[in-house]
Amino acid sequence: MIEAPHYSASGAKHAQRFALPGDTFDGAVNEDVLHQAVKVHLQNQRQGTAKTKSRSFVSGGNQKPWKQKGTGRARQGSTRAPHWRGGGTAFGPIPRDYRADIPRKVRQLARRSALNARAREGMLHVVDPFAMDRPKTSALLGLLAKLALQDTKTLILTAGSKPSVYLSGRNVPHIEVLPFTDATAYDILRADALVIESAALGSGAAADGEAPARQPRPRAAKPAARKAATKSGKTGAKPARRAKPAKAAKSAKTAKAKTAKKSAPKHKKASE
């Protein structure tokens, strides 16, 4: 089990270290997944608005600068070709969407790996819940000074949204405050040290930044009369099949035609 130093909200160190939840802090660091998560995060920050003009978008160059033959110079078709000064750009960027995505479980694995990396380096500190009635930057800086993090790029993870803590560290360049469930692998790796509220380090899905599993909805009980009717219908005798209707009598016209056909004499072929 991985442990981290435990401090009070004022910065006093507790004698007993804080035992980190084992479902999140298992000590495994997957560097390949971390690289993939950071790359996708940075890729999603791109606006994709870079654009250059190709030769078809540059004005001018509608006629040949000189005739094809007889000048002794290389043949040219336009003064806006990429090798001309003032010409278009070959293979330049055009506006496009750089956004990418990774599976949810891979994203969660990268987040756990980042937390384990900081815990393994000894740069994860656990503090008791903050009790700030109003924003106070000096109180937050005093806490970090007692943790020996006054000049370290620090990420403070709170249990839920706490505006007073966020406003206290908003004006400090090397401090960032986020709810524990909102921190990504990139946010954790970007900071050199982590300060996490003890209330945020729950167990199970809540500690991994997920919503708790939804409980299945219980089925509504059937009424007693309907249940009894259903049961009797299953155990009772099968209903008798409905008798098929008798075939309708043939029409008189059809019967008369068949009688006439039978009574007609058969003619023999005349011999040659």
* 3-31 pLDDT per residue, tens: 999 999 988 999 999 999 988 898 899 99
- Name the band, by pLDDT with cuts 50, 70 and 90, for residue 1: confident
pLDDT score, position 119: 93
Task: Kindly state the tokens that stand for 180.
Answer: 């524990």
Whole-angstrom distance, CA of residue 84 vs CA of residue 66 = 14
Give the mean model confidence (pLDDT) for residues 215-237: 57
pLDDT score, position 211: 45
- Residues in the chain, total: 272
Give the mean model confidence (pLDDT) for residues 199-220: 55
Whole-angstrom distance, CA of residue 30 vs CA of residue 114 = 9
Q: What is the pLDDT of residues 49-63, one digit of tens each?
A: 999 999 999 999 999
Give the mean model confidence (pLDDT) for residues 224-236: 57
Contacts 24+ apart (CB under 8 A), 53-60: 53/88, 53/89, 53/92, 54/88, 54/89, 54/90, 54/92, 55/80, 55/81, 55/82, 55/87, 55/88, 56/88, 57/88, 58/86, 58/87, 58/88, 60/86
Roughly what angle, to the nearest 10 degrees, separates helices 104-120 and 31-44? 110
Q: What is the pLDDT of residues 241-253, one digit of tens each?
A: 665 555 554 555 5
pLDDT score, position 131: 87
Helix (H) or strand (E) holding 177: strand 175-179
Q: What is the pLDDT of residues 107-164, one digit of tens each?
A: 999 999 999 999 999 999 999 999 888 999 999 999 999 999 988 999 999 998 999 9
Whole-angstrom distance, CA of residue 111 vs CA of residue 259 = 94
Determine the residue type at 222.
K
